[in-house]
Amino acid sequence: MWTWSLNWGEVTPEIVIGSCPMKPDDLETIAHSTRVSAVLSLQHNDCLAWWGIDEAQMRSAGSGQGLAMARCSIRDFDVADMRRCLPRAVAELAALRAQGHRVYVHCTAGLGRSPLTILAYLVLVEGYSPDGAIRLIHAARPGAVPAWEAFHGCLDDLVSCHRAAIEKRAYELYEQGIHQGADADWNQAQADVLRWVLSP
């Protein structure tokens, strides 16, 4: 059985992954020890209730520490909910990064939903390969187990939703003389469009 402790690791110079703060003092520790300027919580209401975490109190305490506080609720151990909520979680992280924040990303244990969100952000917004992204995550959080099914399902959903824009972008690449073959054009167009969709 997992036992809570406040701990973290640095994925990139801009992103820290860790366990959830349980009380206001934990946010003070996070702010001073990690030098982050924003916190992104992926905890679901069920998690908050189970652990007795007062979200309003935590948000107020974080703001008092000068932290930008953001939250995207994702249900733990629910791949379908992870798949559905992942684009919004990635967009939240992308928005914080666009504002210049160094971000502490957490779910409860920091092993499932937060590595999944960081994985998707690094791949879809920053352009990392999935292998490269998961290596960084595991270096910071060796026990991380992001739901790959949710990641790939989310990617399929995004491509399906934005297929027309991807096709248009692939044609633009061809017209610009950047044509490198149908598959390469499509992959580049897909990367471009999904990055635009998820970034502020």
Q: What is the pLDDT of residues 90-141, one digit of tens each?
A: 999 999 999 999 999 999 999 999 999 999 999 999 999 999 999 999 999 9
With CA atoms as reference, report the closest residue to 103 among 12, 4, 197, 200: 12
- Among residues 47, 107, 154, 161, the one annotated as catalytic is 107
Active site residue 72: no
pLDDT surpassing 90 at residue 9: yes
Q: What is the pTM of this model?
A: 0.96
Domain with CATH 3.90.190.10 in the chain: 9-148
CATH code for the domain defined by 9-148: 3.90.190.10
